[in-house]
Amino acid sequence: MANDSIARMRVSNPKSFELKKFDPAETFGWHKDAAADALQDVKVHLDLLQQRLAAENKRSLLLILQARDAAGKDGTVRSIFSGLNPAGVQVTSFKVPAGREASQDYLWRVHMACPGEGEIGVFNRSHYEDVLVVRVKGFAPRSVWKKRFRHINEFERMLHDEGTTIVKCFLNVSKAVQAQRFQDRLDDPTKSWKFRAGDLADRKLWPKFQTAYEDAIRETSTSHAPWHVVPADHNWVRNLAVANILLEALKKLDPQFPPPDPTIKNVRVE
Ligand code: AMP
Ligand code: MG
């Protein structure tokens, strides 16, 4: 994938960011069959870089996936991480906070799930729910959620300073494609478990979520943790795009196998 596609997805000018400038059906001129082959190539590279990251055991990578329902967060995780060593990848899906989570500050459960040295962490939803659904549904007043942009930037800055590379992707699905996917879920008994009646209520709040996403992306696209707006109307574009964004981040990290223990030099196994 040409690097200019990644540059087009990256929000490097947050002040002038507008979600409507990003086409959910964008294909970057790719074709479906070639994209499937390209994804396999990317995964070979990801596998090698993951091995190095684990062997180096110093730094970590955190992939944050945010999206509306049916944009394909689960499918993205399955498509990119199947085939990688599961010992080095930790996926966390954040649901409505319950029990202890609900009585702590909103970053508590998130911090606990951050990847350790040598690990890749994947967040399926994240602390961004606390400025998105919480704002749109009025679970907290403006005076509370508004301050969270600053907390989040400072929290992510700390993670970055301490050795975690943060990659943030918003999977951008259109309203029409979400309708098709909801209908598929309703009609297919193997998919209907994914559908909640509340999904339709959230769909009615589409414009409010649009504003909330736009503000969140604008307020929290930083040089150390920029957002990427990934076109998500075509699964194959979405998967290849996220895989490439991740690969670029890992290449930049350039993790190295540690040198061998000097005491084993010239050792021969009899
Ligand atoms: P799903 O990802 O479809 O399994 O749904 C998880 C649900 O949990 C979504 O409706 C999210 O909006 C909700 N959720 C996740 N995090 C939070 C949070 N911090 N506060 C309120 N709701 C949340
Ligand atoms: Mg859902």
pLDDT of residue 2: 62
Sign of CA dihedral 71, 24, 27, 170: negative
Rounded to whole angstroms, the Cα distance separating 98 from 235 reads 31
Q: Is residue 1 pLDDT above 70, yes or no?
A: no
Across 162-173, b (16+ Cβ under 10 Å) vs e yields: eebbbbbbbbbb
Inter-residue contact 172 to 22 (CB < 8 Å): yes
Closest residue (by CA) to atom 20 of ligand 1?
96
How many residues appear in the chain? Answer: 270
Closest residue (by CA) to atom 22 of ligand 1?
96
SS (H, E, C) the chain: CCHHHHHHHECCCHHHCCHHHCCCCCCCCCCHHHHHHHHHHHHHHHHHHHHHHHHHCCCEEEEEEEECCCCCHHHHHHHHHCCCCHHHEEEEECCCCCCHHHHCCCCHHHHHCCCCCCCEEEEECCHHHHHCHHHHCCCCCHHHHCCHHHHHHHHHHHHHHCCEEEEEEEEECCHHHHHHHHHHHHHCCCCHHHCCCHHHHHHHCHHHHHHHHHHHHHHHCCCCCCEEEEECCCHHHHHHHHHHHHHHHHHHHCCCCCCCCHHHCCCCCC
Q: Which residues contact 192 (CB under 8 A, 6 or more apart)?
A: 185, 186
205 lines ligand 1 (CB under 6 A): no
Ligand in nearest proximity to the CA of 67:
1
Q: Could you count the other beta carbons within 10 Å of the beta carbon of residue 13?
A: 9
Lookup: tokens for 110: 């998130």
Sign of CA dihedral 198, 201, 206, 208: negative
* Percentage of residues of the chain with pLDDT beyond 70: 99
pLDDT of residue 83: 87
28 lines ligand 1 (CB under 6 A): no
Write out pLDDT tens, residues 120-171. Answer: 999 999 999 999 999 999 999 999 999 999 999 999 999 999 999 999 999 9
77 lines ligand 1 (CB under 6 A): no
Write out pLDDT tens, residues 59-75. Answer: 999 999 999 999 999 99
Ligand in nearest proximity to the CA of 125:
1
Give the pLDDT mean for 113-124.
98
Q: Is residue 188 pLDDT above 70, yes or no?
A: yes
Lookup: tokens for 145: 């959620």
* Average pLDDT along the chain: 97
Give the pLDDT mean for 169-176.
98
67 lines ligand 1 (CB under 6 A): no
Q: Is residue 239 pLDDT above 90, yes or no?
A: yes
Give the pLDDT mean for 182-206.
96
Pocket test residue of 133, 135, 148 for ligand 1, highest count of atoms within 8 A of CB: 133
Write out pLDDT tens, residues 15-52. Answer: 999 999 999 999 999 999 999 999 999 999 999 999 99
133 lines ligand 1 (CB under 6 A): yes
Q: How far is the CA of 193 from the centre of ligand 2 (A)?
A: 9
Q: In angstroms, how far is CA 171 from the centroid of its own chain?
A: 8
